Amino acid sequence: MKWLKSAVQQGIWPWLCAGCVALSLLMLGALLALLLTRGLGHFWPATLDEITLHNGDVVAGEAVRDMPLPNRAGSERLYFTGNRDIDDARWRWVAIDTIAQQTQPAALLRLKRRTWGDFIGYLEAIEVNGERFSGHTALQQAKQALQLSAPERARYQLTLRTPQGQILRQPLATVLSIEAPNAMHVGQKVQRWATDVWQFLSQGPRAANTDGGVWPAIFGTMLMVILMSVIVTPFGVLAAIYLNEIAHQGPLTRLVRIGVRNLAGVPSIVYGVFGLGVFVYGIGGTLDAWFFDDALPSPTFGTGGLLWASLTLALLTLPVVIVATEEGLARIPDAQREGAVALGATRFEMLTRIVLPMATPAMLTGVILAVARAAGEVAPLMLVGVAKLAPQMPLDGEFPYLHLERKFMHLGYHLFDTAFHGEDVQAAIPLVYATALLLVLIVLVLNLTAILLRHHLRRQRGSEC
């Protein structure tokens, strides 16, 4: 033990602790950098290549990555070629040594479509009311027509040509955007990137969650977290007040504390099974039998929904709020309580006017930890209300406006479903990074809001969390 005592005296441990903090920050920075580059980089208008192989085949698309060939020297390149409605494939590996010529034509276009995914090729002409436009005029007409209403766009018909020479007729009403990335300058690419990012945040998913946006998942995540916080905060605070201020500090109270702390370590899927059995089938089934008998056997509350998901996550995070609040209450000096009682305050007045205001930062700490855990939980939600695609939002303009019985989308489940259950995993990878980045940012914003509020209360009351 002499070496340990000597190391402490020489001040090695502070440096070791600082090194661990620095390493943690580096790993966190590396994670955020990966999500930023792979997530936001997906929306940048990538250059399109047109390559001619030695055997005469023509391939056009976006170069994704290079990989070494498994059985011989050299490497191969993965291209996103689109045009799934023509050759039933959107990806193609090309050995680099088989490429005879590579160009980047300015006229090569990328069309985003509602069905069949992207089209990569050339615009031959556009027709409207029997009038036909071709060349550069056709591209300008098509971009202008995209700004029209849906009935007006239905009058336009596009004639497209694939790099292999095949002709395709495409109604303009099914086209979402038209861009020629090879002909764009940096300013146009930045504008296109910003537009795509906004569409990702404001639109719903398409093509089995491998395209489109995540707005329903953002809304569902935020709404569920807010409802969970409203439910768990009063119960957690009242339970902590009872354990620390009211209950007799005997063996039974200590046993309850041990049970609460152990509940914080129970796997989340166990809470999901409990929520399914008690909330959904038990309480929800009873409500259906009492108030929605005419709708049976189609359940109203006897199936997963926003209310049961919020209650399940409130139960999951309740131990966290109790422990954090009770620790804050325990740090308040007894002199504060005794002084208030000595000045004539009742026990209730002492709790509400002295103890609770001083413990407010600790309560917010518990809520912060609860929000951070609840926003990322997926396993229990799969049993009590989350959906791959929710056709109706839980909050709308129809009475009673907040529909607690409806299923909802969640960013965590959307991330899981996109990564593992999509039809095209390769196409889903960039959206997985973008969705993960968005989930991290939402948790960060929620936590920062609570942290700033806690800091404000701490400075205002001079208490410590």
Q: What is the average pLDDT value for the chain, to the nearest integer?
A: 85
From CA 182, how far away is CA 48, in angstroms rounded?
7
Residue 463 pLDDT > 50: no
From CA 74, how far away is CA 310, in angstroms rounded?
54
Residue 341's closest CA among 325, 355, 320, 327? Answer: 355
The string of pLDDT tens digits covering residues 162-219 is 998 899 999 988 888 899 999 999 999 999 999 999 988 888 887 667 777 888 888 9
Residue 415 pLDDT > 70: yes
**Angle, vertex CA 178, rays to CA 102 and CA 432, nearest 5:** 80
pTM here is: 0.84
Residue 436 pLDDT > 70: yes
Above pLDDT 90, what percent of the chain?
20
Residue 109 pLDDT > 80: yes
Q: Of the given ranges (79-83, 312-316, 426-430), which has the lowest mean pLDDT? A: 426-430
Residue 191's closest CA among 206, 203, 201, 181? Answer: 181
From CA 155, how far away is CA 157, in angstroms rounded?
7
Mean pLDDT of 68-88: 85
Mean pLDDT of 230-250: 89
Residue 13 pLDDT > 80: no
Mean pLDDT of 31-50: 89
Q: How confident is the model at residue 52 (pLDDT cuts 50, 70, 90)?
A: very high
Mean pLDDT of 382-392: 83
**Angle, vertex CA 397, rays to CA 395 and CA 400, nearest 5:** 70
Beta bridge partners of 395: 402
Predicted pLDDT at 464: 44
Predicted pLDDT at 465: 42
Residue 89 pLDDT > 90: no
Mean pLDDT of 38-64: 90
